[in-house]
């Protein structure tokens, strides 16, 4: 029992590792601020493409979405980071993470927006058009707000997944929270710094997990 406390919950080591973990936290948050909005925008366009009546737009978008839902994010990240330099594209770890996660997140958010757009009845669009709104206006002011509301729980839970995904950036040595905690772990030969980082992830993500669950029950009711 004492060895478990010593190995996972060593307060002295946690206190010493805290400044490093905190440094990493800022990088994690910076990544989220870049990656979440990019994924949402990409996902919206992906959904519009998948639902488009134009074949030349629809088929490639479906292929894009399925391709990036099938590739594990870490494989994508390593391909972008370690593979693209061979094609003459040298990317910083931050840029590689942003590109790889954009492709992955756009595909996932895209599937959610697609479900949302389908859930809004065709009549809404037609009614909006008949009041004189253009196709774009009726999408932005009438259909999209309802579509977003209908899939809000899924958007929140996918955002939880995106935040969790940022931990993969540690593999390409981006100094985000898990990477900093793991460095502290390798210096101290003790898992407590990673447990500390896990605590920070929990503080950020537990409310979101609960929130998604609450939304779900309300939508179902």
Q: Which residues bind another protein (CB under 8 A)?
A: 3-4, 6-8, 66-67, 69-76, 78-79, 82-83, 86-88, 160-161, 164-168, 170-171, 178, 182, 185, 189-191, 194-195, 197-198, 201-202, 205-206, 208-210, 213, 216, 220
Q: Which is nearer to another protein, 81 or 128 (CB)?
A: 81
CA dihedral 157, 159, 164, 167 (to 10 degrees): 170
CA atoms within 13 A on the CB side of 112: 22
Q: Which is nearer to another protein, 67 or 135 (CB)?
A: 67
Quote the least distance from Cβ 70 to another protein, whole Å. Answer: 4
Quote the least distance from Cβ 71 to another protein, whole Å. Answer: 6
Is 177 within 8 Å of 21 (Cβ atoms)? Answer: yes
Burial class (CB in 10 A: 0-12, 13-18, 19+), 23: middle
Q: Which is nearer to another protein, 3 or 130 (CB)?
A: 3
Is 190 within 8 Å of 13 (Cβ atoms)? Answer: yes
d(CA 36, CA 158): 10
Quote the least distance from Cβ 82 to another protein, whole Å. Answer: 6
Is 40 within 8 Å of 109 (Cβ atoms)? Answer: yes
Q: Which is nearer to another protein, 128 or 153 (CB)?
A: 153
Quote the least distance from Cβ 105 to another protein, whole Å. Answer: 13
Q: Which is nearer to another protein, 50 or 128 (CB)?
A: 50
Q: Which is nearer to another protein, 45 or 182 (CB)?
A: 182
* Tokens encoding 185: 């772990």
d(CA 50, CA 135): 17
Quote the least distance from Cβ 68 to another protein, whole Å. Answer: 10
Is 17 within 8 Å of 184 (Cβ atoms)? Answer: yes
Quote the least distance from Cβ 69 to another protein, whole Å. Answer: 5
């Amino acid at each position: 029992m004492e060895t478990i406390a010593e190995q996972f919950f060593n307060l002295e080591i946690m206190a010493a590792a805290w400044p490093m973990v905190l440094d990493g936290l800022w990088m994690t948050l910076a990544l989220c601020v870049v990656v979440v909005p990019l994924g949402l925008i990409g996902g919206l366009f992906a959904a519009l493409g998948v639902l488009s009546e134009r074949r030349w737009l629809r088929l490639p978008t479906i292929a894009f979405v399925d391709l990036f839902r099938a590739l594990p994010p870490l494989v994508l990240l390593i391909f972008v980071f370690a593979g693209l330099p061979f094609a003459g594209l040298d990317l910083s770890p931050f840029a590689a993470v942003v590109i790889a996660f954009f492709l992955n997140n756009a595909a996932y958010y895209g599937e959610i927006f697609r479900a949302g757009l389908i859930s809004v009845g065709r009549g809404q669009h037609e009614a909006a058009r008949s009041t004189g709104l253009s196709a774009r206006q009726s999408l932005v002011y009438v259909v999209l707000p309802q579509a977003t509301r209908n899939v809000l729980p899924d958007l929140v839970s996918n955002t939880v997944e995106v935040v969790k995904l940022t931990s993969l950036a540690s593999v390409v040595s981006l100094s985000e929270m898990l990477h900093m905690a793991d460095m502290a772990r390798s210096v101290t030969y003790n898992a407590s710094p990673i447990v500390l980082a896990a605590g920070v992830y929990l503080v950020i993500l537990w409310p979101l997990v609960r929130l998604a669950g609450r939304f779900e029950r309300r939508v179902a009711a």
